[in-house]
Structure 1
Amino acid sequence: MKIGDVNLADPDAFFTAVPYDYFAMMRREAPVSWVPRVGDDGFWSITRYADIADVEKRPEVFSSRANILPLPIPEYTLARDIDHNIILSDPPRHGFLRRVIMSAFTQKAILGINERVRVLTTRIIDSVIESGECNLVDVAAYVPIEIVAEMLGVPESDRARLFAWADATVGSADPDATRHISSKQAAEEMFEYASRLGAERRRNPQGDIFSTIAAAKENGERLSDVDLGCFFLLLATAGTETTRTQILQGSLALIEHPDQRRKLIEDRSKLTNAIEEMLRWSTPAMCFGRKALVDTQVGGQAIKAGQQVVLWYCSGSRDESVFANPDVFDVNRHNAREHQAFGVRGSIHQCLGSMLARSELVAVFDALLERMPDMSLAGPVVRLRSNFANGIKQMPVRFTPGIVLGDGPSARWYAAENEGCPAHSSPSATRCPVTSHGE
């Protein structure tokens, strides 16, 4: 194998598995290398941990004002929303958006969410535990999407639409993702809905985080209706996909490494660190892009103003200069938390929802280890066609049947008409537009 043998701009290169061997070769031989792409000039692939951190910590040189989302955004939409979407913005606008949004994520709010996570986890496991088998995708999707719906104050009657919009909005390269509604139409419908809901929350605040953010101000300035719409879209998509993907990938890692699962079953105090190792092992969002504002260098390679760079977090999280034996899954790894799954620590774009995601993951895996300790694969695992999301759309599993614990209703939409849960009628996050152009 040589540099150029794997086309990182092609989602099909990731369909069977993430090409970790190829990334390892790139880190050794060409850590900053040019990747041609149909439709434009191409991009620089950044694969080493230190170089990724270097780019992330220079926002004055590498701009986020580019199409870095997991969907192809029409230019007019990008132009309209670029100053309102926190992951597309640069300082100083980015700082204002981040401070206002973070003001709602108080310790009290997170504690309340933690309790709901436990309730919802019990509910969804109750819905499958007696059967002894399920598609784990259904279980993995339920908790994060319900939590986000509650945070956004989406009425229960509207949640099926939210689930369908979120999946279609972040899907494009996988044909299953947009068989019911196009990504563009889903994004536009969700944005319009979010704008109406935001206006309603300004008039009649509820107890949800969306109401708190709608009312928040800094120096007399509050988020605009477009700001609120962009926040809604971000939380409804990225706020659910990362957690869902990690529940699935983490479960697969434990199934494939029974010795590591046994350690967690015997000593649950190891779970917090194990979550970090899962994030390192199978980074959910594999890459993001930036655009150079001036001529500069990364890792000794000249980068011209206007050129795009793609930061491969999935490669950085397996960099052998940081992680000993990086291709070994080890729940006791001492520096597992140094992964780049949530971006780069200390950078302005470090994931806003990392604390929430970690909380959800701990609760879900604690319950899975307790109630499905012998989970095994019951069929082939089907990955998303994606070079952005390290996702799974089918993961049949079997386990020893158990008893129902909760006294509330099972997940209402788990056995919804037609295709089961509307949240799973199509997969999500199928393509990174920075690396997949014009397909």
Structure 2
Amino acid sequence: MAEDAIAIGGVDLTDPDVYASGMPFDAFRALRRRAPVAWHPHQDGPGFLALTGYDEILAVSRDSATWSSQATGVFFEIPRPEDAYQLELMMLTMDPPRHTKLRSLISKGFTPRQVARLNGRVAEMARQIVDAMAAQGECDFVDDVAGALPSYVIAELMGIPLGDGRRLYELTEIMNTGSVGQQETAVDAQMQMFAYGTELAARKRADPGDDIATSLLHAEVDGEHLTDLEFNMFFLLLINAGGDTTRNLVAAGILALLEHPAEQARLAADPSLLPTAVEEMLRFTSPVTVFVRTATRDTELRGIPVQAGDRAAMFYPSANRDETRFADPDRFDIGRTPNPHLAFGGGGTHYCLGANLARVEAAAIIPEVLSRMKGLELAGPVERVRSNLMNGIRSMPVRFSPA
């Protein structure tokens, strides 16, 4: 029988308050050392196996036949029976072969020409965002810089006004922090998103543009197009997953540089280190905390027997600090190579669809920030997001010399 994760780590890994004060790296370290596959109770539902070792997370990620995303979803909470139908609509919670088909349809939307043009636009938008801030001398880095870029990029992808991108992004904020008292607001925000997506699909079908939304609606696999519901679900995922994670990466990445001035100086002296710096930010800050899988058959993990129906949670920030894979894993080293981090998942069916886009966004905005917001420093306490899913910063006041 697996050992008890809370007894070993000393914290409840499902409690959002644990993460509000910082990622529980000490608990992860203790678990990796003693029980990288440990039983974790959950007060709001069935317990699960907490996976904190790199190898187990990699193995589960790459075996979607044994480890399903769809059976009970990918979050700690299992959907109510009446909501379970949604699991087969969202790419995040879909299994092959349906997932494979939909993913190839979506990737047809990202034509090389569109991606190339998008990359040029990302650089331009990054400049505009920093331009707008540079004269002010202070801002909330999360809202004004890190969150602005992904919302603009998604607007560009969808062929909608940039202001609409900001508004949709605000709606995902409401959806993602929907605690019990705010359940109504979260549902209302989701309805507004769906209404927008439905209207957008109708508009792009009637009046096609040279954008990815149009490509998505016109692409087909085996003679089938995306339905309105599928388009809406993808639209939701794009804004949600694409916005939150990239914002988390850029904000936490800049914070890591501020907290490691020698590495910041090293990057300033050698800009060719930018690609490895972005990979190290991904590893060191791990924008997504956890996804869950469900065993489809009896199996085992590191000698621990697993029964069909058991759930296992993959803690990516722990995998990314695993001593067996990374030398001196708690050190932030912008030149680290190789860097086989699992920030985008462990490969396999659900490897992050937007991985390259996130890299392009980070590589566009980080040099702009460092070169134009001179003397950048924290101007107040950094407030983290209270979430057991997203590893993010809610607010980060900064000041700098106005340009």
Q: Tell me which interval the TM-score lies in, with the shorter structure as reference length.
A: over 0.9
Secondary structure of the 2:283 match is: helix
Q: Cα RMSD between the aligned structures?
A: 2.0
Q: Which residue of the partner structure matches residue 342 of structure 2?
A: 340
1:393 to partner: Cα distance: 1.0
Farther off after superposition, 235-244 or 147-156 = 147-156
Is 1:127 the counterpart of 2:132 in the alignment?
yes
Matched, 1:246 2:245: no
Equivalent position of 1:417 in the other structure: none
Unmatched runs of 5 consecutive residues or more in structure 1: 403-439
Write the letter of the residue equivalent to 2:59: D
- Residue of structure 2 in register with 1:391 after alignment: 392
1:162: which partner in 2?
A: 168
Report the Cα offset of residue 229 of structure 1.
Answer: 0.8
CA distance in 1: counterparts of 2:164 and 2:57, whole angstroms: 40
Query: 1 CA distance for matches of 2:322 and 2:111?
Result: 34
Distance 1:277 1:174 in 2: 36
C-alpha spacing 1:159/1:246, structure 2 compared with 1 (3 Å): closer
Confirm whether residue 153 of structure 1 aligns to residue 156 of structure 2: no
Find the counterpart in structure 2 of residue 143 from structure 1: 149
Q: Are residues 157 and 311 of structure 1, via their aligned partners in 2, closer, same or farther at CA, if it must alter by over 3 Å?
A: closer
Tell me by how many angstroms 1:131 deviates.
2.1
Structure 1 residue 187 and structure 2 residue 186: aligned?
A: no
Deviation at 1:171, TM superposition (A): 2.0
Secondary structure of the residue aligned to 2:8 is: coil
Contact 2:76 2:292 (8 Å CA) reproduced: no
Letter aligned with residue 91 of structure 2: I
- Conserved in 2, the CA contact under 8 Å of 1:70 and 1:171? no
- Which range moved further: 186-195 or 285-294? 186-195
Task: Quote the residue 1:257 is aligned against.
Answer: 260
Relative to structure 1, the CA distance from residue 196 to residue 69 in structure 2 (aligned partners, 3 Å threshold; closer, same or farther) is farther
Which of 270, 273, 280 is the equivalent residue of 2:273?
Answer: 270
Correspondence 1:5 to 2:10 = yes
Answer yes or no: is the 8 Å Cα contact 2:159–2:211 preserved in 1.
Answer: yes
Residues 135 and 13 of structure 1: is their aligned pair in 2 closer, same or farther, counting only changes over 3 Å? same
Structure 1 residues 71 and 368: CA distance shift in structure 2, 3 A: farther
Shift of the 33–92 alpha-carbon distance from structure 1 to 2, 3 Å rule, reads same
With the length of structure 1 as denominator, give the TM-score of the two structures.
0.86
TM-score normalized by the length of structure 2: 0.94
2:383 matched residue in structure 1: 382
Which letter does structure 2 place at the counterpart of 1:8?
A: L
The alpha carbon displacement at 1:2 in A equals: 5.3
How many angstroms apart in 2 are the aligned matches of 1:350 and 1:17?
25
Give, in whole Å, the separation in 1 of the partners of 2:333 and 2:162. Answer: 40
Which position in structure 1 is the counterpart of 2:3? none
User: Structure 1 pair 210/344, CA: closer, same or farther in 2 (3 Å)?
Assistant: same
CA 32–13 in structure 1, closer or farther in 2 if over 3 Å, else same: same
- C-alpha separation in 2, matches of 1:250 and 1:71: 29
1:325 aligns with one of 313, 316, 328: 328
Check conservation: 1:129, 1:401, Cα contact below 8 A.
Answer: yes
Aligned to 1:182, the other structure's residue is in SS state helix
- Is 2:310 aligned against 1:304? no
Residue in 1 aligned with 2:102? 97
* Higher RCO (C-alpha 8 Å, min separation 6): 1
2:285 is aligned with what amino acid?
A: S
Whether the 8 Å contact between 1:145 and 1:163 is mirrored in structure 2 is yes
1:168 Cα shift?
1.4
Secondary structure, aligned partner of 2:291: strand
Q: Indicate if the aligned counterparts of 2:151 and 2:166 stay in contact, CA closer than 8 A.
A: no
Amino acid at match of 1:107: P
User: Quick one: distance in 2 between partners of 1:238 and 1:292?
Assistant: 25
Task: Tell me, in whole angstroms, the C-alpha distance in 1 between the residues paired with 2:187 and 2:84.
Answer: 12
Mapped to 1, the partners of 2:134 and 2:364 lie a distance apart of 17
Deviations 1:70-97 (A, max 9, x none): 9986543441x32221111111001101
1:289 matched residue in structure 2: 292
Instruction: Give 1 or 2: higher helix fraction.
Output: 2
Distance 1:173 1:264 in 2: 40
Query: How many Å separate the matches in 1 of 2:95 and 2:311?
Result: 16
Instruction: Say if 1:70 and 1:115 are closer, same or farther in 2 by CA, change over 3 A.
Output: farther
Conservation of the 8 A alpha-carbon contact between 2:53 and 2:322:
yes
Distance 1:158 1:363, change over 3 A: closer
Secondary structure of 2:46 counterpart: strand
